[in-house]
Amino acid sequence: MTIQTIATTPFSDQKPGTSGLRKSVPTFQQPHYLENFIQSIFDILEGTQGKTLVLGGDGRYFNREAIQIILKMAAANGIGKVLVGLDGILSTPAASCVIRENDALGGIILSASHNPGGPKADFGVKYNIANGGPAPEKITEAIFARTKTISEYKILQSADINLDRVGSFKLGTMDVEVFDSVVPYLKLMESLFDFTRLKTLLSSDFRLCMDSLHAVTGPYAHAIFEGRLGAPLGTVQN
């Protein structure tokens, strides 16, 4: 495996907001577009060598391909370890939890929130800082400034990582841990809410419907409501 330095030229439309950079999937699929933005994030961060990064997304179209690119770029830029959600899945609240729990440098979250997904629809990339929250304006402005002057990016030439099972892998000298992102989030929820009383409520005649609207909350809702709290199967929909 070798580190490649790829020559590139800036794009003029890579200004992120508090919710990151949101564009159509075809825009992100342009040669160098995603890579330019990710390299700009790495370029403006300080003390990244050997640090831990959290990575995942909401599962929309292009999520898995983008994760593989970002993993290889992280390895080429000296990141020590990446925690990536199983199947590439990691909700924004779960990412915040994992960043703080692991004292990570921050996290790259691939999400466009409520925007529709699909081959011609929206995709998004945002950077959350070490406290788990979204990058403040001084960081997003620094990223944007870097996108306007970038001339190259680094990427490791290697095979893809298997995102379909929990496990530990090596990508060059970088450690990659694929983890079930539901587990730490469930642990956090148990520390915030009285699950014993909630389970008692749901074992009575009380009924509820949790509609995930086909979004990334699905795996978390199944594990919490139908798994841990014992709500009847079918409580969680869509």
Amino acid at position 114, single letter: H
Which tokens in the block code for residue 74? 């992280």
C-alpha dihedral sign at 86, 224, 222, 91: negative
The β-bridge relationship of strands 106-110 and 122-128 is antiparallel
Q: Which amino acid is at 140?
A: T
Determine the Cα angle at 219 with ends 104 and 123, to 5°: 65
Q: Is 113 a catalytic residue?
A: yes
Residue pair 72/42 in contact (Cβ under 8 Å)? The answer is no
End-to-end CA distance of the chain: 41
Token representation of residue 142: 């620094």
- Spatial distance between the Cα atoms of 98 and 94, rounded to a whole number of angstroms: 6
Are 6 and 152 in contact by the 8 Å Cβ rule? The answer is yes
List the structure tokens of 27. Answer: 């825009």
Contact (CB, 8 A) for 51 and 80: yes
Burial label for 215, CB within 10 Å (0-12, 13-18, 19+), is middle
The DSSP symbol for 148 reads: T
The one catalytic residue in 113, 168, 181, 203 is 113
Catalytic residues: 113
